[in-house]
Structure 1
Amino acid sequence: MLLDPQGRSFSYLRLSITDLCNYRCNYCLPDGFKCDHKAHYLSLDEIAAIVKAFARHGVNKVRITGGEPALRRDLSEIIALVKNTPGIDKVALTTNGYQLSRHIKSWRSAGLDAINVSCDSLDPRMMQAIIGRNNLDAILQGIDDAISAGIKQVKVNTVLLKQHNYQQLEQLINWAKSKPLTLRFIELMQTADNGDYFNANHVSAEEVGKGLLSDGWVETLRAKNAGPAREFSHSEAIGKIGFIAPYSKDFCATCNRLRVSSQGKLHLCLFGDTGYELRPFINSDDPTILDNAISQFLTYKADSHFLHQGYSGATTDLAMLGG
């Protein structure tokens, strides 16, 4: 089991397979994707070596992220590769919903267990204002198709934005009540490039949690390999509500996830200062070289992020590591 200097154990890997994204979400890439480096993304063989190494260290859940992972034509192969890795029990995917209806059955057949779909509003005009595309109907249809395809866990990610969708909070909650899914409100996080936007749009997710409790929602227990979201159920609801509050007290105390970028770097924190190259340690003849490197890098993990001080490390936008 991977342990850091604080004694936290890590059973969850977020694996980015591309930093390319085809949306222009105003909280992430308002000017669109900027190609400022050579696209030397992880190959299937490199992905296999990295996932096997983390599985040997006790990781049993892998979330495939981007950018937008559906932009890789070999996504189904990647899902199958990860799912068939000894020790990996759960494979999840985070997507903006691009061509979701078209691909969900093949992803499910490849072994996908869970999916998170970004949907920031149920109002087409509001969605276009936030993500730069008028395709809400396609996203909602994709969510329904994921449920119909038998995906075990379907979650919808909604970034809370004071000047945009915050007034639609009740509408979103009522929608989730009738769906077999979890709607998760994500607190807007400050990055190196969004300071003014953050100041104008940040909403405390903790306040949303207080509102849920006052409306009869009850907090549920987290699974051991779950992310940091707090989830709530209601006696009159089919769906669940969750929220991710990175600015809450002790948010980092239960950290159980590590990140590998599409360029093959291990990131100990979404808002850390640097990533550690894994590619030089991939050796098919001696896998322990990579195992030892991962263990050594983990000794550098800090106690906490420094978002409260307005410091977001080397993270310029959330697409670079998939959040």
Structure 2
Amino acid sequence: MLQDKLGRQFHYLRLSITDVCNFKCTYCLPDGYQCDTSREFLSLDEIRRLVAGFAKLGTSKIRITGGEPALRKDLADIIAVCKTTPGIKQVALTTNGFNLEKQINHWVDAGLDALNVSIDSLQPEAFKLITGHDKLVSILNGLEKAKALGLNSIKINSVLMRQYNASQFNDYLSWIKQHAYTLRFIELMQTGDNLQFFNKNHVSGESLKQQLVEQGWSSVIRDKAAGPAQEFYHPDYAGKIGLIMPYSKDFCASCNRLRVSSLGQLHLCLFTEQGIDLRAFLQSDQQQQALIEKLQTSLAEKTPSHLLQQGKTGITQHLAMIGG
């Protein structure tokens, strides 16, 4: 089992397969993808070896992220490789939904278990303003198609921002009264290039939590491989609410996830100062034991907490770099 010096166990790997994204979200890539890094992303064989090594150490959940992972033409093959790795019980995908309506059937056929889709507004004009794309109707159709295909774990991600969509909080609540999705509000995080935007738009997750509690929402017990969200349910609502609050007290105490970038860098935290190169251990099947040992020794470097509260964002210039 992968375990750090604080006794935290890591069942969950967030695997980025590209840092390219075709959206221009105001909080992440407002000027679009700049193509200023290497595009020699992990190959299918490298991914297979990486996932096998993590699985040998107790990882049971893989979340495929980007950038936008659906921009890779071999996404279905990557899903299948992860799904067929012994020890991997769940394969999830986080996407902006651009290709969702057209491609979801291929992803489900490949073995996809869970889907997270970013929807930062349920109002078409506001959605276009935030993302740069008029795709909301297609994305909502894709969600319904995913459900019809039997995908039961579907979550919607939204970053609430004071100047853009914070006033739509109640619109979201009304929507999940009839739709059985988990709607997750992700607190806007400061990164290396967004300080001014962050100061103008940050909405406290704790304030949202207080509103939910006052309206009769109750906490859901977390699974060991669950992500960082605090989830809530209400008997009058078909869907659930999740809050991801990186600025809350003890946010890192329950950390159970590690990240590998699309270039094969292990990140012990989204806000570390540097990655740990794993790619050298992914060039042949005979290197699996060396990879396992590298992962085990690397965990000794994991710190108790990020330092976001002090404005220290580490290497992360924007969230597309490592997959959020």
Measured against the shorter chain, the TM-score band is over 0.9
Q: Please list the CA deviations of residues 24-77 of structure 1 after superposition, one character each: whole Å capped at 9, or x if unmatched.
A: 000000000011122110001000000000000000000000000000000000
Shift of 1:152: 2.1
1:48-197 superposed matches below 5 A: 48-197=48-197
* Number of the residue aligned with 1:315: 316
* Number of the residue aligned with 2:21: 21
Residue ranges of structure 1 left out of the alignment (5+ in a row) = none
* Number of the residue aligned with 1:301: 302
1:276-291 superposed matches below 5 A: 276-282=276-282, 283-291=284-292
Q: Please list the CA deviations of residues 153-204 of structure 1 after superposition, one character each: whole Å capped at 9, or x if unmatched.
A: 0000000101110001001111012111100000000000000000000000
- In structure 2, C-alpha distance between the alignment counterparts of 1:120 and 1:295, rounded to whole Å: 37
* Number of the residue aligned with 1:252: 252
Q: Secondary structure at the match of 1:117?
A: strand
Q: Could you tell me which amino acid in structure 2 is paired with residue 153 of structure 1?
A: S
- In structure 1, C-alpha distance between the alignment counterparts of 2:36 and 2:223, rounded to whole Å: 38
Q: Could you tell me which amino acid in structure 1 is paired with residue 82 of structure 2?
A: V
Superposition CA RMSD, Å: 0.7
| Greater alpha carbon shift after TM alignment, 295-304 vs 21-30 | 295-304
Q: TM-score, normalised by structure 2?
A: 0.98
- In structure 2, C-alpha distance between the alignment counterparts of 1:314 and 1:286, rounded to whole Å: 28
Count of matched residue positions in the alignment of Structure 1 and Structure 2: 323
Shift of 1:100: 0.3
* Number of the residue aligned with 2:214: 214
- In structure 1, C-alpha distance between the alignment counterparts of 2:156 and 2:231, rounded to whole Å: 13
Q: Please list the CA deviations of residues 92-150 of structure 1 after superposition, one character each: whole Å capped at 9, or x if unmatched.
A: 00000011011111111100000000001111111111111111111111111111111
- In structure 2, C-alpha distance between the alignment counterparts of 1:230 and 1:146, rounded to whole Å: 24
- In structure 1, C-alpha distance between the alignment counterparts of 2:75 and 2:166, rounded to whole Å: 33
- In structure 1, C-alpha distance between the alignment counterparts of 2:290 and 2:271, rounded to whole Å: 27
- Percent identical: 54
Q: Do the aligned residues in 1 keep the contact of 2:76 with 2:110 (CA within 8 Å)?
A: yes
Shift of 1:274: 0.6
Q: Could you tell me which amino acid in structure 1 is paired with residue 249 of structure 2?
A: K
Residue ranges of structure 2 left out of the alignment (5+ in a row) = none
- In structure 2, C-alpha distance between the alignment counterparts of 1:30 and 1:73, rounded to whole Å: 25
- In structure 2, C-alpha distance between the alignment counterparts of 1:287 and 1:102, rounded to whole Å: 36
* Number of the residue aligned with 2:30: 30
Q: Could you tell me which amino acid in structure 2 is paired with residue 7 of structure 1?
A: G
- In structure 1, C-alpha distance between the alignment counterparts of 2:286 and 2:169, rounded to whole Å: 54
Q: Secondary structure at the match of 1:225?
A: coil
- 1:231 and 2:231 aligned: yes
- In structure 1, C-alpha distance between the alignment counterparts of 2:152 and 2:224, rounded to whole Å: 17
Q: Secondary structure at the match of 1:70?
A: helix
Q: TM-score, normalised by structure 1?
A: 0.99
Q: Secondary structure at the match of 2:232?
A: strand
- In structure 2, C-alpha distance between the alignment counterparts of 1:208 and 1:120, rounded to whole Å: 16
Q: Could you tell me which amino acid in structure 1 is paired with residue 270 of structure 2?
A: L
- 1:7 and 2:7 aligned: yes
- 1:274 and 2:270 aligned: no
- In structure 2, C-alpha distance between the alignment counterparts of 1:51 and 1:35, rounded to whole Å: 26
Q: Could you tell me which amino acid in structure 2 is paired with residue 164 of structure 1?
A: Y
Q: Could you tell me which amino acid in structure 1 is paired with residue 290 of structure 2?
A: I
Q: Could you tell me which amino acid in structure 2 is paired with residue 36 of structure 1?
A: D
- 1:201 and 2:201 aligned: yes
